Structure 1
Amino acid sequence: MNQEEFKAKAKQSIDEVSAKINELKAKREAAKEDAKAEYDETLRDLEAKKIDLEAKYEDLENASEEKWEEVKQAFSSASDSFKEGFDKLKSLFA
């Protein structure tokens, strides 16, 4: 995958992350009362990871040829971290 394709995929990932967070916020009210505190904490963590992901995307946009692989790996790692947090939150309702 070339740089432009990766950037497009990265942008799509950020859009999906935003949609998932909005969906989770809407579902919060359905959470059991005793799970809401953990839900809120995990949601805050996901929002922080989203901010980190957006920063990594900015790095992608501005990366030089020499730094491309490093920045690409950092974005992929941040994306994986978000997915793990999202899965953790989903497991609260399984």
Structure 2
Amino acid sequence: MSRDAYVEKLKAQIDEWNAKLDQWEAKAREAEANTKISYERRLNELRQQRNEAQSKLDELQSAGEQAWEDLKSSAEKAFSDLQAGFERASSHFQ
């Protein structure tokens, strides 16, 4: 897969996660106090992971042809960690 195709794939995934975060944030605003605290904690964790994944994506975009292959594995780990976090949170917000 080319760097450009890979970057576009990761951008689409971040967009999908951002949409889920928006939905869950709306749900958290409507929740009762105790539930709201739990929701906010989980949302903050996911935002932090999303920011790390976005940072890796930014590094990939600015990397030269040779360097992007080296950065690819760390980006994949960040995205994998974020995917796992979203899967865990998904059951919490359903």
Whole-angstrom distance in 1 between the partners of 2:23 and 2:93: 14
Q: 1 or 2, which has the higher helix percentage? A: 2
Tell me how far apart the structure 1 counterparts of residues 93 and 43 of structure 2 sit (CA, whole Å): 13
Unaligned runs of 5+ in 1: none
Q: How much does 1:51 deviate?
A: 1.1
Does the 8 Å contact 1:21/1:43 carry over to 2? yes
Aligned pair count? 94
Which residue identity lines up with residue 73 of structure 2 in the other structure?
Q
Is the aligned partner of 1:76 residue 2:87?
A: no
Instruction: Pick which of 63-72 and 13-22 moved more.
Output: 63-72
Q: TM-score, normalised by structure 1?
A: 0.83
Q: Percent identity?
A: 29
> Where does structure 1 differ by over 6 angstroms across 4 or more consecutive aligned residues?
none
1:47 matched to 2:47 = yes
Q: 1:52/1:91 Cα in 2 relative to 1: closer, same or farther (>3 Å)? A: same
Query: Partners of 2:88 and 2:30 in 1: how far apart?
Result: 17
What is the aligned-residue RMSD (CA, Å)? Answer: 1.8
In 2, the alpha carbon distance for the partners of 1:26 and 1:48 equals 18
Q: Aligned AA for 1:42?
A: R
TM-score (norm 2): 0.83
Structure 2 unaligned segments of length 5 or more: list them.
Answer: none
